[in-house]
Amino acid sequence: MNKRGLGKGIGSLISDYTFDDVVQSTAAGHPVHEVHIDLLDANPDQPRKDFDDTSLQELADSISRQGVLQPVLVEKQGERYQVIAGERRLRAARRAGLQTIPVIVRTYSDAQKLEVALIENLQRENLNPIEEAKAFRYLMDKARLSQEELATQIGKRRSTVANSLRLLNLPDSMQEALKTLAISSGHARALLSVVNPSEREVLFQRILDRGLSVREAEEFASQFNAGSRAGTHPHPVKKQRRKSAEIQHLEERFLEVLGTKVAIKGDLKQGKIEISYYSLDDLERIFELISPEKKFINEL
């Protein structure tokens, strides 16, 4: 199936809207204008829904001292302007009491405006994990990109994209906890590994109530999937010889790449690796991460 690009295409948009490009855009025929701040309206389709108050105040303080160093990208709508990218700077400038703000006026389709806003957030402003996952899903659906293609376009690893998208399989309550950072992405991966939804909810409550570490959450998840409800112990980690810092670091790296618990048994010279999976879909996902050129179903 041919990919249906949006406007110039995502790759072109990314290269066309870098922050260096914005600053230098006067040379490309897009001059910087000073516009009264009250004439700017937010983009209703802005992918970022939550703006951290502390970081916003820090930016406002910086703007008070140095001004807005990089223009806001806008589109003219009648006598007003709609922000395409730079809403965080606009909010901070208002806090700082600025009367005018530097802007670059461009014209994009509705789809392109959302793409540019997504790209800015993905590359520069650290969306929360759920916002980021929804941004990935939107770009994949609109441009009909595979995970591998999207990862290449936005400069991230395919495993990062895959693990991010999995977060959208969480129930709304768990997604909300992840958005507010009540739980981490590591906790979320442990929750996703629990097959039984009711046991997943039990584990979720334990993470919130007891402040479980990611490793403890993973251990509880393993117990549930093994058919044990003995996860009543507050510290389920079994006593064992302490692993070296190097081995623990490698396990964390494997977890980041594969999105599931990985145990290394041995040392840096010899041993074995155990990769946990909890369903056929999970097994297929891991297989495709390890061997992206092959299709899992053809190997059975």
Active-site residues, by number, are: 87
Q: Give the amino acid at 56.
A: L
Buried b (16+ CB within 10 A) or exposed e, 250-287: bbeebbbbbbbbbbbeeeeeeeeeeebbbeeebebbbb
The C-alpha atoms of residue 253 and residue 242 are separated, in whole angstroms, by 18
Both tokens of 135, joined, read 């941004």
- Cβ count near 194 (within 10 Å): 22
The C-alpha atoms of residue 125 and residue 140 are separated, in whole angstroms, by 20
Nearest alpha carbon to residue 40 among 88, 110, 96, 111? 88
The C-alpha atoms of residue 107 and residue 219 are separated, in whole angstroms, by 52
Q: In sequence order, what are the beta bridge partners of 275?
A: 262
